[in-house]
Amino acid sequence: MEISKELQEAINDQLNFELYSGYIYLSMAAYFESINLNGMAHWMKIQASEEYEHAMRFWEHISDRAGLVILKTIEGPTREWDSPLAAWENAYEHEKIVTERIFKIGKLAEKLGDKSAIPLLNWFYEEQVEEEEQTQKVADLLRMIGDNQGALFMLDGRLGSREK
Ligand code: MG
């Protein structure tokens, strides 16, 4: 089924938002490098590449259904945070926004009776559970760690071992 203009627009917006997410995480990577938390920086770089993959999933869906992919201007991300915890909290809050946005696309697809978009959206519902969990866990650990520099560097090392 050819994609409707309305759903195409919503998915295009989300494609751009995923690229924006990647941009935010790259900005966080730069921030973490600037304060010598290279493990967190590494984690964020991998996360950024994952966001690019998310964008491409939306891309393929539009393209497979004879739609038109439209790339828009990507807003400049925040460049500095007050602390590593503030950055991870920001990442968690951002992922909650992503989840809400994808739910909204789901509601639109339902309203339009567009069943072809359901498998794609289902994949994202699951993915978002993981995205929220990962960022929330690190924020929780950082709250637990508090001022303990040793524990902070241990956590940083662990995040530096992320492979994909
Ligand atoms: Mg994403």
Give pLDDT tens digits for 125-155.
Answer: 999 999 999 999 999 999 999 999 999 999 9
141 Cα to the center of ligand 1, angstroms:
22
In angstroms, the CA 149 to CA 62 distance is 47
Tokens standing for residue 38: 């290279």
50 Cα to the center of ligand 1, angstroms:
7
pLDDT in tens, 85-103: 999 999 999 999 999 999 9
Domain spans, the chain: 5-159
Residues 6 or more apart whose CB falls under 8 angstroms from that of 70 comprise 12
51 Cα to the center of ligand 1, angstroms:
5
54 Cα to the center of ligand 1, angstroms:
5
Q: Which residue has the tokens 């997410």?
A: 21
Question: Among residues 105, 93, 162, 163, which one has the least CA distance to residue 132?
Answer: 93
pLDDT in tens, 44-86: 999 999 999 999 999 999 999 999 999 999 999 999 999 999 9
- Assign a CATH topology to domain 5-159: Ferritin (1.20.1260)
